[in-house]
Amino acid sequence: MKEQPMKPCSGNIFQIQRWSLHDGEGIRSTIFFKGCPLRCKWCSNPESWNGNPEVCPTGARKTIGSTVTVEDVLKVVKRDAVFYRESGGGVTFSGGEPFAQPEFLRQLTAACSQLGIDTAVETSGYFDFEQVKDIFEQLDCVFVDIKHMDDEVHKKMTGVSNRKILENIKQISRMHPNTIVRVPFIEEVNANEQNIKAMCEYLSHTRVVGVELLPYHDFGQSKYSAMGIQGQDFTTPAAAKIDDAKRIIADYGICIVDFK
């Protein structure tokens, strides 16, 4: 039976960031999806939480996000296609949680692949794997977060259990040869030897290709006040602590990834 073409769909995003240099190899365009099942207390994109475009609660005449079609996104992406090719870059889907809009992500990934554009996704790992595993076959790189190895701490800091995430990392790394774990490295949350060693023990039984530590930054703090949300202060670990964590990871034979 002839495969039926996908019915064009639209999705909700809050930004397309061109000339991004830290979301994968080369020069990239990062598409930030609206909607996320997590509520990380340090989130730098709280405007992504709500899945729909919304009016800024401070009363300013500003709408956060917009509804766009696949073709709308491709028009922006195609502007920089030559730079993707020359730098080894491409498009990265971020958020929010891209897999919260699976059909939109599926069609965007397929469209980019048809154009020969490299694709990557940044995900929390919190989704039903069976419903989206076909999307991973189209992607060139997968970045998936580990926030904390202790389930109770994870629930306290993100609002959800880490069990589904950890199981999904195993599943993803089995089928995708370029799966990279990202760790938002935060002094008050997970920047300790016990947590890092627990993560490495777990990852030693997966097929991930490496770990990237992302030291905490407070770029999102101004967004919390603008949105009328009570933010929480965190601390970036000292350089020596970051180096110690990298040393532990390397001692387990796990590659350290850095896109600076």
Give per-residue pLDDT as tens, 156-174.
999 999 999 999 999 999 9
Residue 5 lies in a domain: no
Residue 3 lies in a domain: no
d(CA 63, CA 54): 5
pLDDT at position 140 = 97
How many domains are contained in the chain?
A: 1
**pTM for the whole thing?**
0.92
Query: What average pLDDT score do residues 98-115 get?
Result: 97
Whole-angstrom distance, CA of residue 29 vs CA of residue 93: 9
Per-residue pLDDT reduced to its tens digit, 123-154:
999 999 999 999 999 999 999 999 999 999 99
- Give the mean pLDDT of 209-234: 85
- Its domain, for residue 132, covers 10-251
Say if 76 falls within a structural domain.
yes
Q: Is 143 part of any domain? A: yes
- Tell me the average pLDDT across 216-225: 81
When pLDDT is cut at 50, 70 and 90, the band that residue 56 belongs to is low
Share of residues in the chain with pLDDT > 90 (%): 79
| Residue 94, in any domain of the structure | yes
Q: Provide the pLDDT confidence category of residue 21 given band limits of 50, 70 and 90.
A: confident
Instruction: Say yes or no to pLDDT of 40 above 90.
Output: yes
Which range has highest mean pLDDT (55-59, 77-81, 96-100)? 96-100
Res. 1 pLDDT band, cuts 50 70 90? very low
- CATH number, residue 111: 3.20.20.70
Mean pLDDT of 200-226: 90
Looking at every residue in the chain, the average pLDDT score rounds to: 92
